[in-house]
Amino acid sequence: MTVPDSVEPVLEGVDLTKHFAARGGSPFRRHKRVVHAVDGVSLKLYPGYITALVGESGSGKSTLARLLAQLYPVTGGEIRYRGQAVKATRGKAFRAYASKVQLILQDPFGSFNPVASILRTLQRAVRIHHADRSRAHQRATVDDLLRQVSLVPPEQFTEKFPHELSGGQLQRVSIARALAASPDVFLADEPVSSLDVSIRLGILNLLKKLTEERDVALLYVTHDIASARYFAAETAVMYAGELIEQGPSEEVTQHAAHPYTQLLIASAPDPSRGESARVKDIGQPPSLINPPAGCRFHPRCPYAMQRCQTEAPPRFDLGDSHTTRCWLYADDEEAETRRSQTSFTPQPPEPQTKEQS
């Protein structure tokens, strides 16, 4: 399920950085305090494939999705659509961009205007992106959208208000709303986290089907790394605003390299693991106003070395397009000794296969 090299990315974030102005602080200080929500993140989305973006709350994963949707202007870096840098945060340019890149939000109960019926909500979306179609044609498009997300017969849903539908049904409607634009890219921000367990699978399968059938790219933002393993070709892990590990999902989940990814996996409840090793971790994510120097994970990292406190780790290539930003994978003796203490199980046997063609 990995992405072949021949596929060109449809949407690409290059070195994306977003700093929000922090509230408070002294008015006399010259430099304003900022929240480093996203720092230097590069990510590619491929048509027909799902890329998972995994992280805890506050890791910047939702901000990254909104940056890619151009709902916020970036502080640094650029967004490339089909190889071309695009800046479209307002007006006509934004509308044109929105017809290519659509965002699906987490909470289906909150993402609908409570006083508008499903028909009105969908008609609005259709009208924006298919203004040239006739009224009747637009109405037919709405029914067609509902059918595509398996809400059939459509007449049973069009006249309802959001509060009359279940969470799973609403999330399907919000996918239908995103489909109205016939986009190339879906950005799904935790699309199933607020749904019941038995319904999640149906929504994820629907998203996967749409991704493959329509050859669109899907960014699947989630805190559930196990679902990333099952649904995404690629998985990227964020911690404190930085992308710390990236690669094919099976690689990242089965041979996690970064100590944080290892912690994340060990913490996830998973009865299939049998007797789990007790996790000895009492830390929590750092403040993003004054992020730690060097590697942002070093205050919590059981394997931290001297250089982790001062120098930010570069990206190390572990082969098979699996990369991580952790000093443990540097090519020297100290790192090697430390690395052998972690639960990292290299595969292929040599952890630093530079070339693999």
Partner 1 sequence: MVAAINMEAQASEAGPRASRRAWLRALGRPLTATGVIITIFFAVVAIIGPWLAPYDPSAVSDAATAAPSAAHWLGTTQNGQDIFSQMLYGARVSMFVGVGAAVVSTFLSVLVGLLAGYLGGAADELLSLVANVFLVLPALPLTIILAAYLPNSGSLGIIFVISITGWAWGARVLRAQTLSLRRRDFVEAARATGDRTSLIILRDILPNQIAIIAASFLGTVTGAILTQAGLAFLGLTDVTQWSWGTILYWAQVSSALLTGAWWWFVPAGLAIALLGTGLSLVNFGIDEFINPRLRQAGIGTRKAARGITKRRRATRRRPPRVSRPAAVPFTPDSTDVILEVQNLKVDYLGEYGSSTPAVNDVTFTLRRGEVLGIAGESGSGKSTLAYAITRLHKPPATISAGQILYTRPDGAKVDVLGLNEQELRDFRWEELSIVFQSAMNALNPVLRIGEQIADAIKAHRPQMTEVDRAKRVIELLQLVGIQPDRVRAYPHELSGGMRQRAMIAIGLALDPEIIVMDEPTTALDVVIQRQIVEKIMELKDKLGFSVIFITHDLSLLIELSDTIVVMYGGRIVERAAAQDFYRDPRHPYSRGLLASFPTLSGPRRELTGIPGSPPNLRNPPPGCAFHPRCPLAFAACSEVVPPLYQLETATGRTTDAACLIYDTSVSEGTSR
* Three-state secondary-structure class, residue 128: helix
Instruction: Find the shortest distance in angstroms from Cβ 284 to partner 1.
Output: 5
Residue with smaller CB distance to partner 1, 121 or 246: 121
Quick check: 56 binds partner 1 (CB under 8 A)? yes
In the complex with partner 1, the residue whose CB is nearer, 282 or 333, is 282
Structure tokens at 302: 């059981």
Q: Which is nearer to partner 1, 326 or 330 (CB)?
A: 326
- Closest residue by Cα to residue 113 from 175, 44, 162: 162
Indicate which single residue of 150, 306, 341, 343 sits in contact with partner 1 (rule: CB under 8 A): 150
Closest approach of Cβ 46 to partner 1, in Å? Answer: 21
Instruction: Please report how close the Cβ of residue 220 comes to partner 1 at its closest, in angstroms.
Output: 12
180 counts as binding partner 1 under rule CB under 8 A: yes
Looking at residues 7 to 46 of the shown chain, list those that interact with partner 1 (rule: CB under 8 A).
Answer: none
Residues 6 or more apart whose CB falls under 8 angstroms from that of 316 comprise 323, 324, 325, 326, 329, 330, 352
Paired sense of beta strands 217-222 and 316-317, if any: unpaired
The yes or no reply on residue 57 touching partner 1 (CB under 8 A) is: yes
Residue 6 in contact with partner 1, rule: CB under 8 A: no
For residue 73, state whether it binds partner 1 (rule: CB under 8 A): no
> Does 265 engage in binding with partner 1 (CB under 8 A)?
yes
Binders of partner 1: how many residues, by CB under 8 A? Answer: 79
Residue 273 binds partner 1, judged by CB under 8 A? yes
Among the listed residues 6, 84, 272, 340, the single contact to partner 1 using CB under 8 A? 272
Site for partner 1 contains 163 (CB under 8 A): yes
CA distance 313 to 158: 53
Tell me the C-alpha distance between 203 and 191, whole Å. 8
Helix (H, G, I), strand (E, B) or coil at 130: coil
Partners of 80 in beta bridges? 12, 85
Stretch of 10-18, 73-81, 133-141, 229-237 lying at the interface with partner 1 (CB under 8 A): 229-237
Q: Kindly report the number of other CB atoms within 10 A of residue 24's CB atom.
A: 7
Q: Which amino acid is at 350?
A: E
Range 78-137, binding partner 1 (CB under 8 A): 94-95, 98-99, 102-103, 105-107, 110-116, 124-125, 128-129
**Residues β-bridged to residue 324:** 245, 316
Where on the phi/psi map is residue 28: left (φ > 0), alpha (ψ -120 to 50), or beta? alpha
Count other C-beta atoms under 10 Å from residue 96's C-beta: 11
167 is an interface residue for partner 1 by CB under 8 A? yes
